[in-house]
Chains A and B, each alone.
Chain A
């Protein structure tokens, strides 16, 4: 018989037993087995109790206690399998793999099933208690009261508890955890709805039936213990709340069945799910408001309240979460540790708060990082979102996530052929401004900026756009969001003044920072430090430095600025240079006075010119006094003004010959003569192709005004005396090469003032003044009154000065043959290899002294001329 096997080791005892004794044992055992059967399956029939006790004690007398215990536990196990577990699981069969479960239904089924199995368990516990009493009273009899009265219970109940859990775990259907999930999710949502009804827009809590308001609820949500204390005091959700009570009961039942950790996992995941949904709902795509506080408030108001109430209901607000709780007997762990008067937050609750907050920070952080590109486009309006992100990252330390995600967004969204250089630059600057909030030392910024800088280096107009952005408040960024026309330099300067006294916070994750520094071989501050700026700027994010870093050296930037400044000054029709002076002052602050020396002289020339101009005109002989031979073609000196430059300090000027109309020529020579008299021994050399002219063209039926370059004036003036010119004759009359004329005369044909036709010789173009008929399609409709076309700087892209690019191209052309030769030999080469080879071999005549950026810019010129090809970072000869 199987039942005997457990006492097999006692076989020796059998020899000592008398027949009577054997008889008694057999009878008692049979009686015991029958009574056990009746008890456990007897549906509450405890009437066999006294027989049962007698049999147990009789068996004990023969030393068969362990047989009794083992048999009884085995019988409990079998019965529990049948009456408990089997029936319990049958309730959930219907919800197998088909996921959609009605919330109401789950709640109902779960509660019913738990009730049923708990009753069964309670009944079994009652039976077990009978055995305990029987065994105990036997022992008390033989030991005359010295026996530890609780020993049997302490031994048997944990065994039973283990048995219950083992049976359930062994038969657990795989979808049960999911059902628990569903249940808690539904309850929490219900709870959240109740709570949000109590929270008005300001997050203040209103009084409601089961929820008592405490004035303190309006105060701060500081981090730390106090907060939790407050939430205790508020008692917004008491453990007596009906919903909490129901949930509490379910949790308690589940625990008593041994599902402690599964239950906790289920409500934890429901809480996290709800929290995640809440974060998404609160944060959304709104970047102009901080949401972190509302999220924390919500955590405080809903999940923490719920957990607190639940823990209080379960009575383990303090011992909760201790390692042994899962195995502890539910009878042993009852109320002992809860004292209603003492409001100390449990360790468990503090831990929950930290977990929830970490999760919320991480969720918000991920949400913001995923939209960082848009957020930065919206900067500075989006600074609340940036501020939130900063706090999140300080908490999670996951800065590297930001770097990776943002770089890939940049590559995908910004660094594409379709984006204008200006847009890229503005996004770059916004990125720097936005990220320096998060990363005051600029470490992550360095990594994020690298791909943008690399990309910009490959664009030909980068330097020009940078200079424009830095120095020009009106051009470039044309967004009309009410921004003042401040240049970036102006703005940087203002920021610097504002930030003078603000220290640098240093409290972000130092390990992470160090890791990045190491990983990126980051070197601080690529620009030469300006002695004026001192050491306080050494560790701050240096926006200007990061912009100059794109170009490589400040000299290139200054050089480009000088060319642009020259262009601007030479096209001025007055001497108003206030803006340029201000810009120069700012540039001096950032790049040093000596770098800006030439620009300073250029501006000084304008100031001097104004003075000299007044002086010359005030002291010159009036043309009216010069007699009649000039007649009415003579022009008054009033109309002439001059800018006189110190050409050594200006960028190379594009000199083109030009014959200006005779009356103007007369004025120029009178002016130069007077200058020479005043400034002896200095003299003037006119650059007749430069400057600006305002014209009034009076026709029979209309008057039009233009501000044009001198060559345009020279062209049109010729038509006053002669209505038609061949291009050849006209070019000769104004002293310019015929191709120059053909190019520049387009201005007048495009304005409908001149008409072009083929001459007698078909190579000849004939230009004729358009009179009387107004070509509306070209004039935009207006056929009377006066209109004015401003043509400063020339729409045909003619420049007074050689651009930096042209200068560079001229200087680089020497190397072109060499580069072509290398590529012929090697097939293909990367940029840095070309650069290094040139450095190695071109050491004389002229030595190669260009930066890699200059080389890249030159090569991209060759690519656009289709001499070279660039594929995957390698240059090839174009076949």
Chain B
């Protein structure tokens, strides 16, 4: 076998990103997590997900709207447990 050397001078790869969540859609707006909430135009960093202490995820904008609309203590729209932001 002769002398040979095969190498790539660059490799331009393609990936998609996804939220590391159990569900695919937001329980509030019913839109895909990998899309964005109805108020946003651009998905990803601009329209992030947020987890509750109950481990349910929502679009940040959706849950904030929900929390703000509640007169008393807010509950998770999925499991009705008291809403706490995870880790807070």
Nearest B residue to A686 via CB reads: B15
Closest to A687 in B: B14
Any B CB within 8 A of the CB of A672 = yes
Complex A-B, nearest 4 residue pairs according to Cβ-Cβ distance, in ascending order: A690-B14, A647-B16, A698-B5, A700-B2
Q: Tell me the smallest distance from the CB of B40 to a CB of chain A, in Å.
A: 11
Measured CB to CB, the closest approach of chain A to B75, in angstroms, equals 23
**Interfacial residues of chain B within 34-70, with CB under 8 A of chain A in the complex:** 34-35, 41-45, 49, 51
Q: Does B8 contact A (CB under 8 A)?
A: yes
Tell me the count of chain A residues lying within 8 A, CB to CB, of chain B.
62
- For B49, the chain A residues whose CB sits under 8 A away are 681
Residues of A within 8 A of B6 (CB): 695-698, 716-717, 719-720
Checking B3, B9, B16 against A687 with a beta-carbon cut-off of 8 angstroms, the contacting residue is: B16
Q: Kindly state the separation between the CA atoms of A642 and B17 in the bound complex, as whole angstroms.
A: 11
Given the complex, which residues of A lie within 8 Å of B3, measured CB to CB?
A: 698-700
List residues of chain A with CB within 8 A of the CB of B19: 681-682
Task: Evaluate whether A700 and B13 lie within 8 angstroms (CB atoms) in the complex, with A648-B35, A682-B18, A682-B44 already known.
Answer: no
Name the one of A573, A644, A700, A772 contacting B15, with C-beta atoms under 8 angstroms: A644
Q: Does A646 touch B at the CB level, under 8 Å?
A: yes
Expressed in whole angstroms, the Cα–Cα distance for A686 and B10 within the complex equals: 17
Q: Does A41 contact B (CB under 8 A)?
A: no
B16 CB to nearest chain A CB (Å):
4
Shortest C-beta distance, A565 to chain B (Å), equals 14
B4 interface contact, C-beta 8 A: yes
Shortest distance from the beta carbon of B4 to any chain A beta carbon, whole Å: 5
Q: Give the distance to chain B from A411, nearest Cβ to Cβ, in Å.
A: 46
Give chain A's interface residues, CB within 8 Å of chain B.
Answer: 570, 572-574, 597, 600-601, 604, 608, 635, 639-649, 653, 664, 667-668, 671-672, 675-676, 679-688, 690-700, 705, 710, 713, 716-717, 719-720, 723, 769, 771-772, 800
Q: Are B8 and A693 in contact (CB under 8 A)?
A: yes
Contact of B14 among A679, A681, A691, A697 (CB under 8 A): A691
Pick from B14, B18, B21, B32 the residue with the most CB of A within 10 Å.
B14
Q: Is the CB of B13 within 8 A of A686?
A: yes
**What's the Cα separation between A769 and B6 when bound, in Å?**
12
Query: Looking at A597, A604, A647, A653, which has the most chain B CB atoms within 10 Å of its CB?
Result: A647
B7 within 8 A of A: yes
> Which residue in B1, B11, B21, B51 is a CB contact (below 8 Å) of A667?
B11
- Taking CB as reference atom, which chain B residue is nearest A601? B42
Q: A695-B6, A699-B4 are in contact. Are A685 and B16 (CB under 8 A)?
A: yes
| Contact indicator A681/B8 (Cβ below 8 Å) | no
**Contact status of A683 and B20, CB under 8 A, knowing A601-B43, A697-B6, A720-B6:** yes
Residues of B within 8 A of A772 (CB): 2
| Residues of A close to B20: CB separation below 8 A | 676, 680-683
Q: Mark B17-37, 1 if CB is under 8 A from A, else 0.
A: 111110000000000101100
**A869 CA to B40 CA, complexed, in Å:** 49
**Contact of B42 (CB < 8 Å), options: A604, A679, A687:** A604
Whether B14 and A643, one on each chain, are in contact in the complex, defined by CB atoms closer than 8 angstroms, is yes
Taking a contact as CB atoms under 8 Å apart, the answer to whether B11 and A643 are in contact is no
- Distance A647 CA – B5 CA, assembled complex (angstroms): 36
**Is the Cβ of B8 less than 8 Å from the Cβ of A694?**
yes
Q: A639 to B4, Cβ gap below 8 A?
A: no
**Complex interface: chain B residues within 8 A of A698 (CB):** 3-7
Taking CB atoms, residues of chain A closer than 8 Å to B44 are 608, 646, 682
- Report the Cα distance A481→B3, complex, angstroms: 49
Nearest CB in chain A: distance from B86 CB, A = 10
| CB of B12 closer than 8 Å to a CB of A | yes
> Contact: A694 with B16, CB < 8 Å?
no
Query: Known contacts A604-B42, A644-B17, A646-B43: does B11 contact A693 (CB below 8 Å)?
Result: yes
**In the complex, given contacts A642-B14, A696-B8, what are 7 additional A-B residue pairs having Cβ atoms less than 8 angstroms apart?**
A642-B12, A649-B35, A681-B49, A685-B15, A688-B13, A694-B11, A771-B1
Q: Is the CB of B8 within 8 A of A645?
A: no
Nearest chain A residue, comparing its CB with the CB of B5: A698
| Cα–Cα distance between A679 and B16 once the two chains are bound (Å) | 13
Chain B residues in 8 Å Cβ range of A719: 6
Q: Which residue of B lies closest to A640 (CB)?
A: B11
- In the bound complex, CA of A718 to CA of B84 (Å): 53
Complexed CA–CA distance, A719 and B51 (Å) = 48
Does the CB pair A679–B5 fall under 8 Å?
no
Among B6, B32, B35, B42, residue most surrounded by chain A Cβ atoms (within 10 Å): B6
